[in-house]
Amino acid sequence: MEFGSLLEPLQSYAREIATSHDEISPARQEVLREVAVTIRRHLEADPHADLTFICTHNSRRSHLGQVWAQTAATVYELPAGRLRTFSGGTEVTACNIRTVRALRRAGLSIVEAEPNGGNPRYLVQYAEQEDPLLVFSKVYHQDGNPTSDYIALMCCSDADEKCPVVTGATERCALYYEDPKLADETPQEEAVYDQRCRQIAIEMFFMIACVQEQLG
């Protein structure tokens, strides 16, 4: 594992995440291993594997999945560019500022690249030597996201139900997470967002670790 390439404020968080796989239930681990097998198949057949994390509004869970899966690819030393992560929704809203704050508390560097009329675009930096991720709310098949031969990871049941067909995806996997939106404007808001952020980070690190293990 390689933590030194991550931003220094992120390193201790990532180390703790990487040692917390036992918090994932055996049943959930099996689901994540199956997704890892799918990713490995793509990597064996093509130069890279594209993952698109999809939820209805592309405002919370899908962004967390995208960011943590890409970070995990660096930690587990997958060759540069072989795993590419994206996110999208069934409709456009905005990347929720609470999502941004939770990622910042974890140690990522996030700056607003442009306001974009209520749907700001953020640059999310996780490693010094890697290009930042451009994060904003978009429809999952919008320009800039892959439109063919990608793995769709459905982060909420609502998006899964609204998309009987995910255009362009060659594989589709369900990875549902409870929406932290339920805690908005409550005293528990920050804790719930941090909890969901950490849960998704742990699961993405476990999943990518499984990919690395399977590739040998």
The closest of 47, 46, 44, 70 to 153, measured between CA atoms, is 70
Residue 99's pLDDT band (boundaries 50, 70, 90)? very high
- Say if CB 1 and CB 77 are below 8 A apart: yes
| pLDDT over 80 (residue 159) | no
Check residue 26 and give its pLDDT: 98
- Give percent of the chain with pLDDT exceeding 90: 85
Instruction: Dump pLDDT digits (tens) for 118-146.
Output: 899 999 999 989 999 999 999 999 889 99
Domain-wise residue ranges, the chain: 27-215
The dihedral formed by the CA atoms of 101, 105, 110 and 116, expressed in degrees to the nearest 10: 0
| pLDDT over 80 (residue 149) | yes
The closest of 51, 86, 67, 87 to 6, measured between CA atoms, is 67
Residue 116's pLDDT band (boundaries 50, 70, 90)? confident
- Say if CB 137 and CB 94 are below 8 A apart: yes
Q: What is the DSSP track for 149-193?
A: SEEEEE-SHHHHHH-SS-TTEEEEEE-----GGGGTTSTTHHHHH
| pLDDT over 90 (residue 1) | no
Check residue 33 and give its pLDDT: 98
Check residue 115 and give its pLDDT: 75
Instruction: Dump pLDDT digits (tens) for 71-96.
Output: 999 999 998 789 999 999 999 999 99
User: How far is CA 206 from each of CA 27, 41, 181, rounded to the nearest angstrom?
Assistant: 13, 17, 25
Query: Quick one: fold of 27-215?
Result: Rossmann fold (3.40.50)
Residue 123: phi and psi, rounded to 5, are: -100, 120
Check residue 29 and give its pLDDT: 98
Q: Is 186 exposed, middle or buried, given 0-12, 13-18 or 19+ CB atoms closer than 10 A? A: exposed
